[in-house]
Structure 1
């Protein structure tokens, strides 16, 4: 198991995506019961925007995590199935 200090840029970016995605999912649940809460709406907008930016950055450098970002790569081809998925250990599952 890797220590926090030995994480690669890819792992750090993926961890940030997980954190921001959790916050977005959590605030969506809150908004289901508090739809007029302006503070929650503002939080959602901020974190949703950050998530989109992080997802596009990840896709540009490492390949898309979702089909929505499949065209955000640095190539002019369809690369969706060419990279290992995040849960696969590179070189071991393919």
Structure 2
């Protein structure tokens, strides 16, 4: 953390890892819809992903349209921060 702000790179890493886990288990659940452990895994990593997206939006601006409500209260902030690929994180 830097002055109470979480590290942007760490948040992006968490978002990328959780997004991969969610996408991967979604594919598995397409063929195994009754697997309770896989469904629990999906819910856990979906929660982690959504929380990280909200935290990122709070400090650095939204990455997805779903998180614009929390971060764009007074103006449209998307263009004010560097895009993730501009700093070599993707």
**Which interval holds the TM-score relative to the shorter structure?**
0.7 to 0.9
Larger fraction in helix: 2
The alignment of Structure 1 onto Structure 2 pairs a total of residues equal to: 82
Structure 1 segments, 4+ long, off by >3 Å, are none
Deviation for aligned residue 1:68: 1.4
Ranked by relative contact order (alpha carbons within 8 Å, sequence separation 6 or more), the top structure is: 2
Q: Unpaired segments of 5 or more residues in structure 2? A: 1-5
Q: Provide the TM-score with structure 2 as the length reference.
A: 0.81
- Corresponding residue of 2:30: 32
Aligned counterpart, 1:16:
14
- What's the C-alpha RMSD, in Å, of the aligned pairs? 1.7
The runs of 5 or more residues in structure 1 that have no matched partner are 1-7, 90-94
- From the CA coordinates, give the structure whose radius of gyration is larger: 1
